[in-house]
């Protein structure tokens, strides 16, 4: 009976650990949004391994110890890996590393040369070339089947499109996001109200696994290649030779590696890299030790999950304990309200930390962070101080949950929580903290197109208290502008003329210029064309707006929330009083017999008779659907001068193509 109880207890523990670890794996691999730090996963994984070793009959088929990576997302094309892309075994101390090396050398029967490399904190990537030309890029996936990300890898600058030699081969390595790019991306995401990435690895994975390659292209990804598949085909016999061979072909390879003949040299390398890791431009989370001789690697082979000839030494987490003394709420230029923990200063990863972003309300509530709590800090991406976990057994008895603000700390207006956003946001167009950003956007070319009103001029206007919102632009006089630095009579007249001309814009420009969340140029045009003027749009319901083709509930929620705000009504009234047009001046609805109705059209190249936005608006008014990419569903490509890849793709798919002269005739 005792044995049965022990086995039942072990089974319950294994079941709970498998469920928890698989949830964390989905968050990490599939959703690119982990909820726990790597070392928490590692400790829990080791607990499962120990239980499964003691009770092998209880090992489940869905245990994370029996698989690699995670499932392939359904939106990606599957790519089989003829040579599986395995993960690595982990050790967490020098003693464990020495035990691994001793077992390996005992099995080989002689000392072994090791190639020691940095463990890049990124996403595994396979690249395939045919006669020197890149033909396929794929993720690891579950190790046997990955995801086709070829279009995305073509946007990564250090991946060669053509090799220096016309060879057919496969290489593997790591796609990563540099620390500086990670910090910039997270700052931009928080300004947009989106959740920040937890670490550079998930930022890289989320960027590489995009359905739109243009998003990937903006993410500053980079790579290090470290595996040459089938090296014997190229006369390569060691890992060091493989790296040199790949570098000669044009691949990025990491220079920080050594060949070590004994464990003392490996220990010295680990100590040096541990000390220097904060200074690197990219994140590393450990050191990889592998057999240098490639034929010996092949002879040693693999287990079901990991190679026997390599191991990853994982760095211990760099954490520090401190106490949260306050939570400050500040508003950014885009209206996002961000909480910051004010803490007792503590040394962490080379700097003294006294403040850490808490990102958003969901983050505070999910971790249950309270004033007075002792928390563990780490640096996300080795840069950004962040709370890992609350030390619950040190929580004061009288602690209460954090107070979430309901009004803007800058202007006092009510905060909103728009659908699809994790951030609290102030949407008051006259909020002092946001005015400069709003004025810059309002004056931009695609909005009200006030030529000559750039950020430097706007900064002077605000500094001299000549404007407090966008409506104040229409009250400026020559005397006001004469006081600006380096502003002469011609500049004054030109700016006043540009401001005056903008009064006559069709209302979709104003609608876009107001900076309503989710309402871009296209949505603004659709709304203006549908309602005819701003007055009718302001009284429309969420249901009315979301029913419009091309809009949907997210835009409808953002638009109605904004347009029902009392401060917005005040602003619109001021614009109206200043003579700013509030009606739609675009073309009438497309006639039923228009040749363009229902046609899917793509525009590419440069035109002399009209701008791309003007042409898009004109074709849309005639009933066409203008899209950004060519596919089998495209009915027509309009090609101007210097048309590039879209023209080539249209010709390959047999899509009809017309030039500017023929287009003018059709219009």
Task: Point out the residues that are catalytic.
Answer: 119
Instruction: Give one word for 491, left, alpha or beta, with left for phi > 0 and alpha for psi -120 to 50.
Output: alpha
Interstrand relation of 78-80 and 145-147 (parallel, antiparallel or unpaired): antiparallel
Is 326 strand, coil or helix?
Answer: strand
Half-sphere exposure of residue 91: CA atoms within 13 angstroms, side-chain side: 17
- Encode 44-63 in three state secondary structure: HHHHHHHHHHHCHHHCCCCC
Contact 630, 646 (CB under 8 A): yes
DSSP letter, residue 64:
G
d(CA 431, CA 469): 8
d(CA 385, CA 347): 11
b/e for 397-417, b at 16 or more Cβ within 10 A? eeeeebeeeeebebbebebbe
CA distance 56 to 629: 53
Give ∠ CA 44-355-283 in degrees, rounded to 5.
Answer: 50
Q: Do residues 209 and 76 make contact, with C-beta atoms less than 8 angstroms apart?
A: yes
How far, in Å, CA of 269 to CA of 262, rounded?
Answer: 11
* Six token digits for residue 43: 């400790």
Decide if 98 contacts 87 (C-beta within 8 A). Answer: no
The tokens for 578 are 């200043």
C-alpha distances in Å from residue 327, one per residue of 191, 198, 331, 389, 642: 19, 20, 13, 16, 54
CA atoms within 13 A on the CB side of 603: 18
Sequence-distant (6+) residues with CB within 8 A of 70 are 25, 26, 28, 29, 30, 141, 142
Distances from the Cα of 205 to the Cαs of 27, 110, 128, 202, 571, in angstroms? 12, 40, 19, 5, 43
**CA gap 221, 174 in Å, rounded:** 10
Q: What are phi and psi of 26, to 5 degrees?
A: -60, -45
Joined tokens for residue 125 = 């990537």
Contact between residue 251 and residue 187 where contact means Cβ atoms under 8 Å apart: no
What is the rounded distance in angstroms from the CA atom of residue 459 to the CA atom of residue 455?
Answer: 6
Cβ-contact 321, 391 below 8 angstroms: yes
């Amino acid at each position: 009976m005792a044995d049965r109880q022990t086995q039942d207890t072990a089974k319950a523990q294994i079941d709970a650990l498998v469920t928890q670890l698989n949830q964390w794996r989905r968050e990490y691999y599939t959703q690119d949004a982990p909820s726990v730090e790597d070392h928490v996963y590692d400790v829990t994984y080791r607990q499962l391994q120990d239980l499964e070793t003691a009770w092998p009959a209880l090992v489940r088929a869905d245990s994370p110890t029996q698989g690699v990576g995670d499932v392939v997302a359904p939106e990606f094309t599957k790519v089989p890996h003829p040579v599986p892309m395995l993960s690595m075994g982990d050790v967490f101390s020098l003693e464990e590393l020495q035990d691994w090396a001793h077992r390996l050398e005992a099995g080989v029967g002689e000392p072994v040369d090791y190639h020691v490399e940095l463990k890049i904190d990124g996403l595994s990537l396979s690249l395939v070339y045919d006669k020197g030309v890149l033909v396929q890029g794929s993720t690891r996936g579950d190790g046997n089947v990955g995801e086709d990300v070829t279009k995305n890898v073509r946007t990564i600058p250090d991946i060669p499109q053509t090799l220096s030699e016309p060879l057919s081969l496969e290489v593997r390595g790591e796609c990563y996001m540099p620390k500086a790019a990670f910090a910039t991306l997270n700052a931009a995401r928080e300004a947009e109200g989106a959740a920040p990435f937890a670490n550079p690895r998930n930022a890289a994975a989320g960027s590489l696994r995009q359905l739109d390659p243009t998003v990937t292209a903006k993410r500053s990804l980079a790579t290090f290649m470290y595996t040459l598949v089938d090296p014997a085909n190229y006369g390569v016999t060691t890992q060091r030779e493989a790296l040199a061979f790949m570098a000669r072909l044009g691949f990025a390879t990491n220079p920080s590696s050594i060949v070590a003949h004994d464990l003392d040299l490996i220990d010295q390398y680990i100590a040096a890299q541990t000390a220097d890791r904060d200074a690197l431009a990219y994140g590393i989370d450990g050191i990889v030790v592998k057999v240098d001789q490639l034929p010996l690697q092949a002879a040693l082979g693999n287990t079901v999950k990991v190679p026997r000839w390599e191991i990853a030494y994982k760095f211990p987490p760099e954490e520090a304990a401190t106490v949260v003394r306050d939570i400050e709420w500040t508003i950014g230029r885009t209206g996002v309200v961000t909480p910051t923990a004010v803490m007792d200063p503590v040394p962490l990863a080379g700097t003294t930390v006294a403040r850490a972003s808490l990102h958003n309300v969901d983050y505070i509530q999910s971790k249950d962070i309270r004033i007075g709590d002792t928390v563990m800090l780490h640096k996300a991406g080795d840069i950004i101080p962040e709370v890992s976990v609350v030390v619950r057994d040190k929580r004061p008895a009288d602690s209460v949950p954090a107070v979430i603000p309901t009004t803007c700390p800058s202007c006092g207006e009510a905060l909103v929580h728009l659908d699809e956003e994790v951030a609290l946001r102030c949407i008051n167009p006259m909020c002092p903290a946001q005015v400069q950003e709003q004025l810059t956007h309002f004056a931009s070319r695609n909005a009200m197109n006030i030529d000559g009103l750039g950020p430097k001029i706007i900064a002077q206007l605000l500094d001299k208290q000549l404007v407090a919102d966008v409506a104040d632009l229409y009250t400026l006089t020559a005397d006001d502008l004469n006081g600006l630095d380096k502003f002469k009579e011609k500049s004054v007249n030109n700016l006043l003329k540009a401001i005056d001309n903008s009064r006559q814009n069709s209302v979709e420009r104003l609608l876009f210029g107001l900076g309503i969340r989710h309402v871009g140029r296209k949505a603004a045009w659709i709304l203006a064309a549908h309602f005819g003027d701003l007055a009718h749009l302001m009284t429309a319901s969420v249901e009315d707006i979301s029913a419009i083709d091309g809009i949907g509930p997210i835009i409808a929620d953002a638009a109605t929330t904004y347009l029902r705000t009392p401060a917005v009504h005040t602003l619109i009234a001021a614009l109206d009083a200043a003579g700013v047009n509030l009606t739609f001046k675009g073309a009438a609805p497309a006639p039923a017999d228009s040749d363009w109705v229902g046609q899917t059209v793509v525009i590419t190249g440069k035109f002399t008779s009209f701008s791309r936005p003007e042409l898009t608006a004109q074709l849309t008014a005639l009933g066409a659907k203008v899209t950004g990419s060519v596919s089998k569903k495209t009915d027509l490509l309009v090609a101007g001068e210097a048309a590039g890849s879209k023209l080539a793709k249209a010709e390959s798919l047999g899509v009809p193509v017309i030039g500017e002269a023929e287009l003018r005739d059709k219009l």
